[in-house]
Structure 1
Amino acid sequence: MHRKRQSAQISLALLIASAITLGMLVLTVVLIAQSFRGMEAAKVSAASATAKQLAVSVDDRIHSITAPPSTALAVLSHDSLAGAQTLARRLERLPVLADILQSSNIVSAVYAGYPSGDFVLLRKVRSSGTLQFPDAPEATRYVLQTITRSSGEIPGEWRFYNADMQLIKRIPVPAYTYDPRTRPWFKAAKVSESTELSAPYAFFTTRETGITLSRKASPETGGAGTIFGIDVTVTDLSSQLAELRQTPNTRIAIVNREHQVLADSGNRNHPGPAIAGALNQAGEDIAGSPVNQFTAEGRDWYGMTEPLGALQQEELTIAVAIPADELLAEVWQALARQTVIAGLIALLLLVVGWFLGRQVGRPLEHLTDQVSRLSRFRFDTPIRSDSHIREARQLSVALDDMAKTIRSFQSIATVLNRGQDLNNLLQDILEQIVHILGQERGGIYLFSRQQERLTLAVKQKLELPETIDGLPADSDDNEVIRLLRQRTSGHPVFAILRNRRKRLIGVLAIEMELGANTQLSDDLIVFVDEIAGSAAVAIETRELIESQQALLEGIIRLVANAIDAKSPYTGGHCERVPKLAQMLVDEALVSDDLAFGSFSMTEEQRQEFHLAAWLHDCGKITSPEYVVDKAVKLETIHNRVHEIRTRFEVLWRDAEIHYLNRLLVGDYESAAERERRETRARLQDEFEFIARSNQGGEFMHEADIERIRTIGRQTWLRHFSDRLGLSPDEQQALKDVPAPPLPATEPLLADKPEHLRPWGEHIPPVRRDDPRNRWGFDMALPEYQYNRGELHNLTVAKGTLTDEERFKINEHIVQTICMLDALPLPDRLANVPRLAGTHHERMDGNGYPCGLTAAEMSVPERIMAIADVFEALTAVDRPYKEGKTLTESLTIMDRMVEDGHLDRAAFELFVRSGTYQRYAEAHLRPEQIDPVDESLFMKPG
């Protein structure tokens, strides 16, 4: 950028010399300012003294909190409770613990921890003015929490007492597994001979803020290793701090060394912005005082801190923040009066200065009009002034240069923000930087950490080596530049490109050969480095975006492959459906069919659909594998037909025993043999029928169902208990079922209460009236989560799944939507849960999970349903069916179209475009690819 040499101009100082009288105004302002600063300093000193006094008051309060409980704990350490080894003996000493609780309002709990892990704690139901146990029985005053490990387990128990220490209620709490031996208060007192005081913390059960005093039991009690503890709340400090405020909005807080709030005048549990500013000494320090001034919550504040002498090991601090407008209210009133006087003087001086100002202002008014265009972001406006005032002319030239520089920075900012492809981004960055510097030649190298090499990415009219090897990744800037100087010719300026972690990512080279910049200066080098820094951030950002996109794609494929790998029968489904769906979407985008005339997708929408297709079955990760892979009706974790075969074996041997018994009592051998033969033949036939019924089919006749029930009514004798060796789940199922006396007569097939698994607290939010259902699900919920009854499963009319298992299979789409909706997806991927979760909807509104109709489903959603159904029909890895041929699959899909299941337009596009054929050639077995008469599936126009 070249400038014309300017002739000497008249100095502006000569014109304003006659305005010296304006110094009177300056003097007035200085005096007012000094007065204000003096009054401000006095107020700040007073505030600092107040903070010191607050620290003394709070120290006294903390000492008053800890002294009485410490005395009570010293007395308790000699109590026989320390040596009590049974719960009964410990209960005898409850009055002692109750007396300690009654002695102080701030003591919330008294307890003893034993070296065996036993624990006894007496707690007030109401502490710190709050009811801590709202579910406690009426009239409860105390809660006794005990853990007794003498039985080898951890039988936790809570007991509720009234004010007279009379037991109201006792309840077992198995989940109460508190171990006092692991707590800091126990460990600290165990190795100490005196009372130990903990840091303030949130109590285990009530979450109140307080401190714990703990002390080892005296040896004379016989309780070696027993530790007594007292919990003391400090929550009332907050209300006391509020009473000590100097102004209505003064903030006072007590914090520990981690800046955790222990008490706050505003009843907060974390440092507010004002307190945080005081603690961090934000803003400016007030000279000569420990006070700092800062801005928070839209207001100016004065902040100060003082250390507390109490609990020195915790390094407690009291922080005070006072609004400046409240502290200086009186100062401002005095300042206003002085300002009125100064204003009158200024008015007189302004009349005099107006005349002089006009002499200076006229040449600048024109310049102001032009500069105002800059304020409206018109940086392409030339800035010129014909004034004879030297300073005005120089100002116009400087502003013009500034406008040109801003225009250049606008251009490079646009390039950095909008660049998508990395190569194009680098080329645009190089062109803009070369233009800003007023040069013509340059280049950008990118660094490879693996190869320790610089590779020329882009260049502009500058001959540079394509690669520069032998550059370690940890080289500093001087080493990089020294190596570049050795390998390149000319005298380019090098700017090292480093990312936010200061790692080398590349080098910018600019040949400085035009204008005044041929002579390098420190300012020019700094300027080039700053521009290069912006370019480095843009390059790193683009690389991060590309790597994040690749990572997201990899994670999604990982989830899909994990779902396919979970079941050997559905391997590849999550991979094949996206491919087929994408093929059909591509056909819809170029189709001239009326149904797809307005259909279009941006690149972001295509990416959104692609991710949704890969994740369309991610909910299957929650589906039990034995349900997904259920090949026969009696299969759970194993095929239960083997149990039934064993019962038939029992009946077989019973027939043999019956035959021998008849011979022993003298019956005719021929008649007994005939009966045995007939019974065994019947058993063989019945088992074969049961075994065949265990195989899933398309339909089961009512007569077959009735025969199964008839066979099941046969009985056998069980001599062994069915309550031994059970899992916790089985024990829970039999909890309310009494065990029959042995030997017990059992039906051959049965639906037993233990076969039922209720939903309990795990009811999925699929019913429309469920308040948790914010997705619009509308599905029928079976009465039970599982029904493993033998008759119930064997009499399934179609397939192998019961209604309960069918719901569990269908629920995978609910889990898909819920899982994807829980992800923090960006706006461009906001429709992924919907696209992934609607492929089981039907055009007639009878699908699931939301019962959407065709009018409520987009083209991509209808295409996803087509892809999912076709892949399922042709898949050869399902346990319940064989992979169908193309004609069979398309015939079934055509029938599904007629039944309102699939979309007619999407199906015909699928057939007409030959998408099914291309997919088959890539993924189906040769025997499945048969000739297809496409005209059979085209509806006449």
Structure 2
Amino acid sequence: MERTRQSAQVSLPFLIASAITLGMLVLTVVLIGQSFRGMEAAKVSAASAAARQLAISVDDRIHAITAPPSTALAVLSHDALGDAENLEQRLERLPVLADILASSDIVSAVYAGYPDGDFVLLRKVLSSGTLQFPDAPEGTRYLLQTITHSREGVPGEWRFYNADMKPLEQRSVPGYRYDPRTRPWYSKARGSETTELSAPYLFFTTQETGITLSRRAATATADAGAVYGIDVTVTDLSRQLAELRQTPDTRIAIVNRDQQVLADSGNRQQPGPAISQVLSGNGDIVDGSPVSLFSAEGKDWYGMAESLDALENEGLRIVVAIPSDELLAEVWQALARQTVIAGVIALLLLVIGWFLGRQVGRPLEHLTNQVGRLSRFRFDTPVRSDSHIREARQLSVALDDMARTIRSFQSIATVLNRGQDLNNLLRDILEQIVHIVGQARGGIYLFSRQHQQLTLAVNQNLTLPATIESVSSDDDDSDIIRLLRQQISGNPVFAVLRNRRKRLIGVLTIEMEHGDNTQLSDDLIVFVDEIAGSAAVAIETRELIESQQALLEGIIRLVANAIDAKSPYTGGHCERVPKLAQMLVDEAIQSDSRAFRSFSMTEEQLQEFHLAAWLHDCGKITSPEYVVDKAVKLETIHNRIHEIRTRFEVLHRDVEIEYLSKQLSGEDEALARQEREQAWQDLQDDFAVIARANHGGEFMAEADIAEIRRIGKRTWQRHFDDRLGLTPDEQEALTGIPEAPLPASEQLLADKPEHLRPWGEHLPPVRKDDPRNQWGFDMSLPEYAYNRGELHNLTIARGTLTPEERFKINEHIVQTICMLDALPLPDRLAKVPRLAGTHHERMDGKGYPCGLSAEDMGIPERIMAVADVFEALTAVDRPYKEGKTLTESLTILDRMADEGHIDRPVFELFIRSGVYRRYARQFLKPEQIDEVDERLFMKQD
């Protein structure tokens, strides 16, 4: 039954209360909004004025920094230090430099540079409140740094003095390389007759931020004579800026025209996010003011910038950024107070309006509450009204009858939706339909297309024939009912069950023997037919689900068998692992050991695990066969040892030709023959070395690798063009590589550029930082997709696979997860990709593809890993190894458990339960099944 919902209605008390208070609320909101905008504009204007005043203060401070040192430098330009020709004469003028340093806290160093590259500098050891030279002798006040090229030995020297200019220590500093002639302050002052001021920069030795005032000596010319310099730090500007902040989180910075930070209230070396936004001008201008509004660091800011007059050639600006919430804190407090007052008034008016509305709407409220129970799906509550209004009382009676009818339909809907097993579903459907009609007996027949008959599926207290023969799917309902009436006695009513495509699926019959319904009516027949239609849909859906489940199982086994059939060396792996994993899961569920005491799986979880086990290697369908089946190092689609042997044949023939040429030229025939035999033997020996190396092993010594590389350096002559008859892929690999003229001399073994195959557009998303990586993969990716270099392959230390091929093998688990994740799996199978894709993870987090650890994996994932490893160890169909015995396999698994590769509780359950023996009897060869001492592997308490 379909019920039409009306749109939501407004209650009468609420409507009256709203009408009274609406006008007041609108007026309040408008007034508060206007008040807020006015206060906001005032605060922004005040902030702009404060920024301008701050710029004036900073200008005054910069002038105060540069004026005293400029005066001192003008006096120093007349000192005899400029004419001193050696270090001894310059040392005599140190008191003058010390007086200049002592006269100002901001002067950090005084120095002089000479045309020959000599340099003398006196600086304070304690500058800007920081000890710049922690390794200075105790009591050091000044450091003298000198470079004197006329002195023997190391030209750079450092001398340490106390406050009275008494020497404390002298050091030779070979690494002190400083040429004043290359510095901007020297070159600017050399060509000027006045004091020059540099842009702020980092000082050479102390890395402080400051400026340099420089002036040439009074006796110097533009081409000769000393140049004086004074370093002035501007570090205290940052501290001053911090003191001038309007709010705790205000950002203030001084930047030059290149947007380099010269001073910052937070002592930053680079512009912060807020300062950068002001400099970029990305914000919105506030009401035509120089203030902009922008977002940074997760909140809103007001920003402004003012130019500084000081150092006008540097284009200095002071930049201020103030958090919006701090600048407008007082505004929001005032707004909150106004809002509270308005809210109290609105609440008072709302209460008054509600009281008046209740008085008007009370007669209607009682009926509304009764009907509201139905709207809340409370069909089990009787609907009654004691209203004296006749229409209201009649309405309540009708609604009560409707509620009882709906309760009956709820019962059958629950049965149709929750039924799982088809037989139980049919039984529940029959019981509910019989109850709705008010009868006690009935039955359901299902149609068999194969036998063209109706077969009794469910019977409730009724004597019915087991089958109804001679029923065709093409018969219409009236023919089927006529046939049923001939074979079923009594007073039954029939409903033919058809699916969505109108195909016959069965018949419902109910024996009418109670109440008024014993007399069949058209209305009753139509009702039973319609209610049985929903049952037909439920039956069809359940049959479809069961058939789809069977189809899914078949497809999964088909994929697994296709993977096994793809390679003759891995046949049966995708079938054996699920069976072994299922054995272990069953044992884990039954186990009462501490590790598995709380472990259980529902029927759906078992089905999910079963499918994941069958699909755990479905990604191998993308793995190249010649990589999976690679039995020797030089194998690609074929074993390239034959190509190398052909080159040896060429060299063998070259030796014969050389021998014959020597005979023709009259050389000693015996000696030539001896050289030929020796050369042939060397070729045989070298080829044997390569042939042995072609077979992968557990370990390849460095000496063997060196021998392979030695043999590979031998050359042979190629007389044919190696670019003829190539595939497009081979031709593309040679793009950009110049062709060698013929005859070409080539190495016997080589790693050529054409052996490399880049990833191109097929780069797999396995790196952790790859934006395409939505699965959490964390794998190392080789530089190339393939490297078929002969030396690269022959010098593989272990096994037969290169790192590129090893990744290609490991990538199958990535493809497994990606393929399964792309399937539209229902919620009950949502974990299939994870269960299938974690059997190569390790308990210690060193596995792949996601690097999960034991804490990230449940018992099913750990079981899958043990099953996969044990099957691989005992398999006898691999080209690169022989199947191991039970003891050998369990010993390896025991070591892997100790190393954190597999889970030890699962491994010991594997042994304790005897699963390994049951599996061995089914799948292992008799010679692999040896006597196992299980005590050797049981280490858990």
Q: What's the TM-score once normalised by structure 1's chain length?
A: 0.60
Aligned partner of 1:402 in structure 2 is 402
The 3 A distance-change label for structure 1 pair 394 and 799 is same
2:399, 2:672 → 1: CA distance?
122
Asked if 1:850 is matched to 2:850, the reply is yes
1:746, 1:905 → 2: CA distance?
58
Asked if 1:713 is matched to 2:713, the reply is yes
The 3 A distance-change label for structure 1 pair 510 and 891 is same
The 3 A distance-change label for structure 1 pair 853 and 376 is closer
1:382 CA drift (Å): 5.3
Does the 8 Å contact 2:491/2:518 carry over to 1? no
Aligned partner of 1:752 in structure 2 is 752
1:513, 1:811 → 2: CA distance?
70
The 3 A distance-change label for structure 1 pair 708 and 462 is same
Task: Kindly provide the amino acid, as one letter, of the partner of residue 586 in structure 2.
Answer: D
Aligned partner of 2:629 in structure 1 is 629
1:831 CA drift (Å): 1.6
Aligned partner of 1:479 in structure 2 is 479
- Pairing of 1:476-515 with structure 2 (within 5 A): 476-515=476-515
Q: Give the 3-state SS of the residue equivalent to 1:916 in structure 2.
A: helix
Aligned partner of 1:739 in structure 2 is 739
1:883 CA drift (Å): 0.8
1:538, 1:392 → 2: CA distance?
39
2:851, 2:661 → 1: CA distance?
64
1:726 CA drift (Å): 0.3
Aligned partner of 1:274 in structure 2 is none
Aligned partner of 2:574 in structure 1 is 574
Asked if 1:427 is matched to 2:393, the reply is no
- Pairing of 1:512-531 with structure 2 (within 5 A): 512-531=512-531
Does the 8 Å contact 2:715/2:746 carry over to 1? yes
Aligned partner of 1:469 in structure 2 is 469
Q: Give the 3-state SS of the residue equivalent to 1:746 in structure 2.
A: strand
Aligned partner of 2:611 in structure 1 is 611
1:783 CA drift (Å): 1.2
1:652, 1:377 → 2: CA distance?
96
Does the 8 Å contact 2:905/2:940 carry over to 1? no
Q: Give the 3-state SS of the residue equivalent to 1:505 in structure 2.
A: strand
1:668 CA drift (Å): 2.4
Task: Kindly provide the amino acid, as one letter, of the partner of residue 774 in structure 2.
Answer: R
The 3 A distance-change label for structure 1 pair 488 and 940 is closer
Asked if 1:681 is matched to 2:681, the reply is yes
Aligned partner of 1:651 in structure 2 is 651
RMSD: 2.5
1:807, 1:721 → 2: CA distance?
34
Does the 8 Å contact 2:840/2:849 carry over to 1? yes
Q: Give the 3-state SS of the residue equivalent to 2:544 in structure 1.
A: helix
Aligned partner of 1:792 in structure 2 is 792
The 3 A distance-change label for structure 1 pair 675 and 407 is same
Aligned partner of 2:454 in structure 1 is 454
Task: Provide, for residues 500-547 of structure 1, a one-character-per-residue CA deviation record: whole Å limited to 9, x for no partner.
Answer: 111111000111121101111111011000110011011111111111
1:403 CA drift (Å): 3.5
Aligned partner of 2:812 in structure 1 is 812
1:708 CA drift (Å): 0.9
Aligned partner of 1:892 in structure 2 is 892
Asked if 1:438 is matched to 2:438, the reply is yes
- Pairing of 1:148-547 with structure 2 (within 5 A): 373-381=373-381, 399-547=399-547
1:790, 1:385 → 2: CA distance?
95
Task: Kindly provide the amino acid, as one letter, of the partner of residue 731 in structure 2.
Answer: Q
The 3 A distance-change label for structure 1 pair 529 and 924 is same
Task: Provide, for residues 469-490 of structure 1, a one-character-per-residue CA deviation record: whole Å limited to 9, x for no partner.
Answer: 2211121111211221222222
Does the 8 Å contact 2:816/2:836 carry over to 1? yes
1:919, 1:372 → 2: CA distance?
64
Aligned partner of 2:640 in structure 1 is 640
2:804, 2:788 → 1: CA distance?
9
1:397 CA drift (Å): 6.4
Task: Provide, for residues 685-724 of structure 1, a one-character-per-residue CA deviation record: whole Å limited to 9, x for no partner.
Answer: 2212211111111111111111111111111111111010
1:709, 1:491 → 2: CA distance?
98
Task: Kindly provide the amino acid, as one letter, of the partner of residue 678 in structure 2.
Answer: E
Does the 8 Å contact 1:496/1:529 carry over to 2? yes
Matched residue count? 584
1:429, 1:525 → 2: CA distance?
17
1:387 CA drift (Å): 11
1:732 CA drift (Å): 0.7
Task: Provide, for residues 543-597 of structure 1, a one-character-per-residue CA deviation record: whole Å limited to 9, x for no partner.
Answer: 1111122222222222211111111111111111111111111111121221222
1:389, 1:818 → 2: CA distance?
68
1:479, 1:407 → 2: CA distance?
34
Aligned-residue sequence identity (percent) comes to 79
Task: Kindly provide the amino acid, as one letter, of the partner of residue 521 in structure 1.
Answer: S
The 3 A distance-change label for structure 1 pair 384 and 819 is closer
Does the 8 Å contact 2:718/2:744 carry over to 1? yes
1:386 CA drift (Å): 9.8
1:471, 1:540 → 2: CA distance?
19
2:652, 2:383 → 1: CA distance?
111
Does the 8 Å contact 1:718/1:744 carry over to 2? yes
Task: Provide, for residues 408-464 of structure 1, a one-character-per-residue CA deviation record: whole Å limited to 9, x for no partner.
Answer: 211111111111111011001111111111111110000111221110000111111
Aligned partner of 1:690 in structure 2 is 690
Aligned partner of 1:773 in structure 2 is 773
2:369, 2:744 → 1: CA distance?
106
Does the 8 Å contact 1:886/1:932 carry over to 2? yes
Q: Give the 3-state SS of the residue equivalent to 1:516 in structure 2.
A: helix
Asked if 1:904 is matched to 2:908, the reply is no
Task: Provide, for residues 161-216 of structure 1, a one-character-per-residue CA deviation record: whole Å limited to 9, x for no partner.
Answer: xxxxxxxxxxxxxxxxxxxxxxxxxxxxxxxxxxxxxxxxxxxxxxxxxxxxxxxx
Task: Kindly provide the amino acid, as one letter, of the partner of residue 655 in structure 1.
Answer: V
Q: Give the 3-state SS of the residue equivalent to 1:761 in structure 2.
A: helix
Does the 8 Å contact 2:838/2:861 carry over to 1? yes
The 3 A distance-change label for structure 1 pair 744 and 370 is closer
2:403, 2:783 → 1: CA distance?
75
Task: Kindly provide the amino acid, as one letter, of the partner of residue 460 in structure 2.
Answer: Q
2:538, 2:848 → 1: CA distance?
46
2:599, 2:742 → 1: CA distance?
72
Does the 8 Å contact 2:633/2:696 carry over to 1? yes
Q: Give the 3-state SS of the residue equivalent to 2:559 in structure 1.
A: helix
Does the 8 Å contact 1:383/1:396 carry over to 2? yes
1:709, 1:901 → 2: CA distance?
36
1:637 CA drift (Å): 0.6
Asked if 1:931 is matched to 2:936, the reply is no
1:755, 1:740 → 2: CA distance?
17
The 3 A distance-change label for structure 1 pair 397 and 712 is same
The 3 A distance-change label for structure 1 pair 666 and 478 is same
Q: What's the TM-score once normalised by structure 2's chain length?
A: 0.60
1:396, 1:463 → 2: CA distance?
43
Aligned partner of 1:55 in structure 2 is none
Task: Provide, for residues 53-105 of structure 1, a one-character-per-residue CA deviation record: whole Å limited to 9, x for no partner.
Answer: xxxxxxxxxxxxxxxxxxxxxxxxxxxxxxxxxxxxxxxxxxxxxxxxxxxxx
Task: Kindly provide the amino acid, as one letter, of the partner of residue 410 in structure 1.
Answer: Q
The 3 A distance-change label for structure 1 pair 437 and 644 is same
Does the 8 Å contact 1:370/1:381 carry over to 2? no
Task: Kindly provide the amino acid, as one letter, of the partner of residue 622 in structure 2.
Answer: T
Q: Which runs of 5+ in 2 are unaligned?
A: 1-358
2:697, 2:469 → 1: CA distance?
70
1:375, 1:749 → 2: CA distance?
85
2:707, 2:808 → 1: CA distance?
29
Task: Kindly provide the amino acid, as one letter, of the partner of residue 679 in structure 2.
Answer: T
Aligned partner of 2:920 in structure 1 is 920
Q: Which runs of 5+ in 1 are unaligned?
A: 1-349
Q: Give the 3-state SS of the residue equivalent to 2:760 in structure 1.
A: coil
2:466, 2:828 → 1: CA distance?
39
Does the 8 Å contact 1:445/1:507 carry over to 2? yes
